[in-house]
């Protein structure tokens, strides 16, 4: 018998209270009634401060033990999702469904041994399938797996999204539902722009670009896997009866009667990334200075973004946490360095930017009118990004959203 499978992932804020878990269970029941076998993936319950949330477990580890071994830290952190899986599975049973809870290891998720940020190598799905065949809803603890040797690992922040998509791939699911605390993917983060509009349909490429530019509504690893393996995603919330955002290929979007935004709108979304530092270096009369700069940063394993190179010097962006390290490395090499932090990158995501000269003019005009200093810009054919001081970030997103009329366009 071939069963049609749907993976349903519930984020931390969707399983935080009994009421929410019961709502989540109703969504699972609906899916079952539609003829699918649901596999549920859960994150740890709640955000920082909640007793079993990941950040609470991290504080426990950090406050008591300054130097906890990464293996033990992963063992500790994996507990948040295991607790959540058991509680969710019991909720499903109380509502009359057959259900079983698995840790990542029990679900057959095999990872490398990169504790804290492990990558899934493969899934051995037989145990899950055995239970699905018997009519059980399988609840899997997200964000974790185990090495070949049986050591428990975690997948890094946002890792439950990856668990859900990878299970979707190995179980050949029809689609993966991502339930979160917003109703879908929006023209901009609705917490920053209250009038942001939901994007009802996105192609894999469109969604991947929004995520790549920083929208954390889906983890970028999960998004890239969904795109590579063509697993449709639906981003939804428990509080909304709407369909949320469907992320799939163009032909399915067309069949569903949804617009292909990148074919119609020059800009359809604004994403942001916080926690950055701008580094400006004066090359002086140093020979091959730019080469020395980039080689020494590469040797230290520091990734850089928004690189601008001109005869007198260079400017680029690094993660805020390595800002002073970069400054130190380059000073040691004899360069004059200027560091600006904290900064944020705000990106317009759209289509054919290179062919639309007006977009840059509009961006500059909007930020100038709002007295926001642009520290640097960068672009690709589908994005234009500008670096601003962190304190200006929210206002920059708001004025750009308005300037490009995104509250009306999408
Ligand atoms: P979960 O715990 O369910 O995984 P996350 O906090 O990881 O939830 O992701 C959801 C958050 O993503 C939202 O609360 C919202 O602040 C943020 N977000 C950023 N950009 C967007 C966007 N374009 N559309 C929707 N949400 C966004
Ligand atoms: Mg998340």
Res 19: pLDDT: 96
Share of the chain above pLDDT 90, in %: 84
Q: What is d(CA 136, CA 347) in angstroms, rounded to the nearest whole number?
A: 44
pLDDT computed for residue 166 by the predictor = 98
Q: Is 47 in the pocket of ligand 1 (CB under 6 A)?
A: no
pLDDT of residue 123: 98
pLDDT reported for residue 242: 87
Please tell me the residue having the least CA distance from ligand 1 atom 22.
Answer: 189
Backbone angles phi, psi at 226, to 5 degrees: -60, -40
pLDDT at 408: 85
Q: Does the structure show a pLDDT above 80 at 1?
A: no
| Residue 224, C-beta contacts closer than 8 angstroms, at least 6 positions apart | 208
Mean pLDDT of 258-285: 91
Summarised one tens digit per residue, pLDDT across range 332-364 is: 988 999 999 999 999 999 987 767 778 889 999
pLDDT beyond 90 at 31: yes
Which pLDDT score is estimated for 288? 84
Residue pLDDT, tens place only, 49-78: 899 999 999 998 888 888 889 999 999 999
pLDDT band at 380 (very low <50, low <70, confident <90, very high): confident
Among protein residues, the one whose CA lies closest to atom 10 of ligand 1: 217
Instruction: Please list, in sequence order, all residues whose beta carbon lies within 8 angstroms of the beta carbon of residue 45, skipping any fewer than 6 positions away.
Output: 12, 15, 16, 52, 53, 80, 83, 84, 87
Q: How many angstroms is it from 311 CA to the middle of ligand 2?
A: 42
Mean of the per-residue pLDDT values of the chain: 94
- CB of residue 215 inside a 6 A radius of ligand 1: yes
Percent of all residues in the chain with a pLDDT value above 70, rounded to a whole number: 99
Residue 398 scores a pLDDT above 70: yes
Read off the pLDDT of residues 381-397 as tens digits, 9 standing for 90 and up. 889 999 999 999 999 99
* Ligand 1 neighbourhood includes 24 CB (under 6 angstroms): no
- What residue's CA is closest to ligand 1, atom 27? 189
**pLDDT for the residue 330:** 92
Q: Per-residue confidence at 133, pLDDT binned at 50, 70, 90?
A: very high
Q: Does the pLDDT value for residue 266 go beyond 90?
A: no
Can you give the pLDDT at residue 67? 85
Counting ligand 1 atoms within 8 A of each CB, the residue from 47, 142, 182, 406 with the most, and so the one to mutate, is: 182
Q: Where does the pLDDT of residue 370 fall: very low under 50, low under 70, confident under 90, or very high at 90 and above?
A: very high
Query: Ligand 1: does its nearest atom lie under 6 Å from the Cβ of 217?
Result: yes
Over 80: is that where the pLDDT of 18 sits?
yes
Average of per-residue pLDDT across 88-117: 98
């Amino acid at each position: 018998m071939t069963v049609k499978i749907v993976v349903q992932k519930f984020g931390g804020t969707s399983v935080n209270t009994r009421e929410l878990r019961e709502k989540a269970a109703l969504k699972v029941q609906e899916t079952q009634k539609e003829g699918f076998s649901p596999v549920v993936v859960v994150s740890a319950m709640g955000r920082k401060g909640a007793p079993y949330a990941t950040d609470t477990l991290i504080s426990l580890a950090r406050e008591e033990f300054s130097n906890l071994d990464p293996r033990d830290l992963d063992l500790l952190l994996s507990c948040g999702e295991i607790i959540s899986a058991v509680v969710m599975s019991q909720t499903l049973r109380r509502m009359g469904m057959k259900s079983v809870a698995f840790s990542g290891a029990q679900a057959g998720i095999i990872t490398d041994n990169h504790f804290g940020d492990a990558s899934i190598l493969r899934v051995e799905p037989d145990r899950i399938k055995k239970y699905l065949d018997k009519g059980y809803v399988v609840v899997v603890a997200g964000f974790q797996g185990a090495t070949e040797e049986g050591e428990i690992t975690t997948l890094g922040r946002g890792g439950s999204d990856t668990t859900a998509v990878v299970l979707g791939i190995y179980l050949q699911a029809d689609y993966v539902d991502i339930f979160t605390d917003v109703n879908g993917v929006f023209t901009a983060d609705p917490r920053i722009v209250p009038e942001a509009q939901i994007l009802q349909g996105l192609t894999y490429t469109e969604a991947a670009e929004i995520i790549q530019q920083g929208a954390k509504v889906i983890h970028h690893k999960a998004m890239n896997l969904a795109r590579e393996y063509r697993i449709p995603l639906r981003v939804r919330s428990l509080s909304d009866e709407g369909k949320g955002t469907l992320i799939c290929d163009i032909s399915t979007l067309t069949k569903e009667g949804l617009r292909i935004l990148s074919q119609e709108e020059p800009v359809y979304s604004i994403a942001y990334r916080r926690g950055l530092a701008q580094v400006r270096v004066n090359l002086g009369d140093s020979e091959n200075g730019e080469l020395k700069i980039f080689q020494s940063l590469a040797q230290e394993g520091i990734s850089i973004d928004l690189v601008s190179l001109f005869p007198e010097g260079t400017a680029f962006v690094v993660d805020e946490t390595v800002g002073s390290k970069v400054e130190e490395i380059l000073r040691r090499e004899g360069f004059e360095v200027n560091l600006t932090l904290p900064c944020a990158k705000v990106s317009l995501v759209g289509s054919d930017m290179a062919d639309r000269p007006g977009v840059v003019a509009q961006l500059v005009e909007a930020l100038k009118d709002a007295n926001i200093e642009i520290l640097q810009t960068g672009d690709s054919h589908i994005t234009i990004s500008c670096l601003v001081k962190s304190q200006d970030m929210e206002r920059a997103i708001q004025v750009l959203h308005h300037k490009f009329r995104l509250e009306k366009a999408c």
